[in-house]
Amino acid sequence: MPSSSKPFSSVLIANRGEIAARVIRACREVGLRSIAVYSDADADAPYVRLADESVRIGPTPAAESYLSVERILAAARYAGAEAIHPGYGFLSERADFARAVVEAGLVFIGPTADVMDVMGRKDRARTIAERAGVPVTPQFDPADVPADAYPVIVKAAAGGGGKGMRIVREAAALEAAVDAAGREAASAFGDDTLLIEKYVEAGRHVEVQVFGDEAGNIVHMFERDCSVQRRHQKVVEEAPATGIGADLRRTLHDSSVALCREVGYTGAGTVEFLVADGEAYFLEMNTRLQVEHPVTEAITGLDLVKWQLTVAAGHDLPLGQAEITETGHAIEVRVYAEDPYAGFLPQAGHVLDVAWPGGARIESDLERDAEVSTAYDPMLGKIVVAGGDREEARARMVEALDDTCIFGVVTNVGFVRRLVASDEFARGDIHTSWLDGDEAGAVDLLTLPEVPADAVHAAAALWARYEVATTHDPFGLADGWRSGAEPAPTLVTLVDEADRSWTFAFTVDETATDASALAIIDADGNTIGWQGQPWSLARPDPMRGGHQRGVSTDADIVSPMPGTVLRVDVSEGDVVTLGQQLGVVEAMKMELALVAPYDGVVAFVGAEAGRQVPIKHLLFTVDPT
């Protein structure tokens, strides 16, 4: 990099996983030394091997590693780092961290701590937005909410993540909502200050990428649509936003730039809006790089991380507003270790294999034989595609997800494939609360589909080839050879996870045909990846009357997540009724009650209170009466 008033030659990345790898690659491309930090859980992670140097910062819990300002700064001193990139999540929006980095004589790659302080509070950010002429939602005094204002939203001024937030649809419920939100905000953030604003129904989440430098130059890089969300967690992002008129787009862009000028913003940031009925309303500002920044890079051809490094070194922005252009359309999906068909519960376990698609941008630090833990965010990676227009990009994403599968750990890949292929997404009809509502399309997507016949057929064909390829005894070769006659068809029977039996017949030619399916196959059967969803199909076990070996039944109650058994309420031999609580497991700070699937007798108890159990650990078996 050229000389500047704040030169640095080494960057410590205070993060992990795919964003750490992303920053490391950018540093390498501009000739900067990269320094990774890792907890015990990440000692063998690919991003650690990718960096020029790596430093252990502590045990697995984030509070003792990635969230420890003291350990991060100690690692920087040890490695001789001159700058720190926070990535996103963890300490990225902590003003005290940014301030401590600068006080330690290092360069913080992000906005100033003072700007983070101001924009981190919703009440202060709103005041600044109003002063800058940014459109905001109507705000009300708690003691004077007009009768025609409902629904309104009560939200904590000092926090985020849905804490201290309540939607109120009638005046009678306001007092209780304010009391509850205040208590929650005080507990979570140490501040019970609340805002009451008009609640925008069925709005779209549109955000504008902004950049500023120390010379006062501010630009935008157009907008992204992040409306596909589940409980405020983004699932699919795209750029640019569609269905927004030229005047509204101009308002979004100009307002975002004006807000940045008002606070003297430097570095990368995002100004977020709710858009509904042709109007835009300011939500908040994220004072960091966003997870979804690759879609902006795809339509502009720019590298946002390199821009961050340039600005942090004291240089002017590489381009002016008139030089930044957009072309085509880009879509990104987030791959999470979670079960969409079980309330999006985070998942964990051992990754047997990973198939990523060709022809797409993959941002991931996941590899085969990795261990996925619930200690950190469940996002495993991102898949990004681009096309000449939205429909071309959407078709490419469906194709990319067809070529994606993660074996061994439950993920959302099959779910997002169905979502992107849906009519609702194709029309652009999805708003921020769509997946949390009861609309038919959303309900259908959140229901686990049955294994498709095409997937079972492909699995059977793979099994037929497997039998031929792994049998070395010519007299036992499963190729259908017969003396004096055409070869007999090879019959393959598989049993799916619902205990249904499927039988297919294959000729020799069909057995030899290459299949394009993704699968893991062994002596018991195979797991096939079909449209992103893994399906387990087993050979019938004659000792179990055709049932799959080792597969749990309705009688088995297993732990839906790795966790701790809080209580066991029954003993073997107890008679129980449908819905009766058998025990409670705590996982990811949630208490999950395990109940009897029907009237019956407890035949097995597999844990005691206080015991740590892995995902799918057998806790109870109930035999029907």
Residue 549 within any structural domain of the chain: no
| Helices marked H in 471-543 | 508-512
Domain boundary among 446, 475, 502: 446
Name the helix (H) or strand (E) containing 194.
strand 194-198
* Domain residue limits at 569: 556-624
| Residues 509 and 391 reside in one and the same domain | no
- Could you tell me the pLDDT band of residue 553, with boundaries at 50, 70 and 90? low
Domain boundary among 513, 544, 575: 544
Q: Are 34 and 27 in contact (CB under 8 A)?
A: yes
526 by Cβ neighbours in 10 Å (0-12 / 13-18 / 19+) ranks as buried
Residue 3 within any structural domain of the chain: no
Compare 611 and 331 and report the one with higher pLDDT. 331
Compare 390 and 472 and report the one with higher pLDDT. 390
pLDDT of residue 161: 61
| Residues 312 and 227 reside in one and the same domain | yes
CATH number at residue 507: 3.30.700.40
Q: How far apart are CA 431 and CA 437, in angstroms?
A: 10
624 by Cβ neighbours in 10 Å (0-12 / 13-18 / 19+) ranks as exposed
How far from 542 is each of 223, 437, 539, 555, CA to CA, in Å?
A: 59, 45, 9, 20
| Residues 383 and 465 reside in one and the same domain | no
Q: How far apart are CA 378 and CA 376, in angstroms?
A: 6
How far from 303 is each of 299, 313, 329, CA to CA, in Å?
A: 11, 16, 17
- Could you tell me the pLDDT band of residue 468, with boundaries at 50, 70 and 90? low
| Residues 528 and 570 reside in one and the same domain | no
Residue 529 within any structural domain of the chain: yes
Residue 551 within any structural domain of the chain: no
pLDDT of residue 358: 94
| Residues 591 and 524 reside in one and the same domain | no
pLDDT of residue 187: 81
| Residues 322 and 427 reside in one and the same domain | no
Q: How far apart are CA 432 and CA 337, in angstroms?
A: 21
By DSSP bridging, strand 279-286 and strand 329-336 are: unpaired
Q: How far apart are CA 156 and CA 175, in angstroms?
A: 15
Residue 412 within any structural domain of the chain: yes
In this predicted structure, which of 96-110, 115-129, 200-214, 611-625 has the lowest mean pLDDT? Answer: 611-625
Residue 116 within any structural domain of the chain: no
CATH number at residue 572: 2.40.50.100
User: Is it the case that residue 521 has pLDDT exceeding 90?
Assistant: no
| Residues 127 and 265 reside in one and the same domain | yes
- 215's tokens: 């010379």
pLDDT digits (tens, 9 = 90+) for 206-218: 999 999 999 999 9
| Residues 131 and 219 reside in one and the same domain | yes
pLDDT digits (tens, 9 = 90+) for 254-295: 999 999 999 999 999 999 999 999 999 999 999 999 999 999
Compare 225 and 190 and report the one with higher pLDDT. 225
Residue with tokens 């960096």, as numbered in its chain? 51
User: Is it the case that residue 545 has pLDDT exceeding 50?
Assistant: no
Q: Taking the model in full, what pTM does it have?
A: 0.86
| Residues 359 and 434 reside in one and the same domain | yes
User: Is it the case that residue 59 has pLDDT exceeding 70?
Assistant: yes
What DSSP line would sit under 318-377, residue for residue? SS-GGG----SEEEEEEEESEEGGGTTEE--EE--EEEPPTTSEEEE---TT-EE-TTS-
Domain boundary among 309, 327, 345: 327
What mean pLDDT comes out for the span 355-361?
96
pLDDT digits (tens, 9 = 90+) for 75-115: 999 999 999 999 999 999 999 999 999 999 999 999 999 99
pLDDT of residue 560: 76
pLDDT of residue 258: 97
Residue 431 within any structural domain of the chain: yes
Is the link from the previous residue into 142 a cis peptide, with omega within 30 of 0? no
| Helices marked H in 264-301 | 293-300
CATH number at residue 170: 3.30.1490.20
Mean per-residue pLDDT of the chain: 89
By DSSP bridging, strand 518-522 and strand 501-506 are: unpaired
Residue 550 within any structural domain of the chain: no
CATH number at residue 71: 3.40.50.20
Q: How far apart are CA 277 and CA 206, in angstroms?
A: 13
| Residues 384 and 531 reside in one and the same domain | no
pLDDT digits (tens, 9 = 90+) for 38-58: 999 999 999 999 999 999 999
E strands in 396-540: 405-407, 490-495, 501-506, 518-522, 525-530, 533-538
| Residues 458 and 540 reside in one and the same domain | yes
pLDDT of residue 164: 85
How many domains does the chain divide into?
6
| Residues 179 and 222 reside in one and the same domain | no
- Could you tell me the pLDDT band of residue 507, with boundaries at 50, 70 and 90? confident
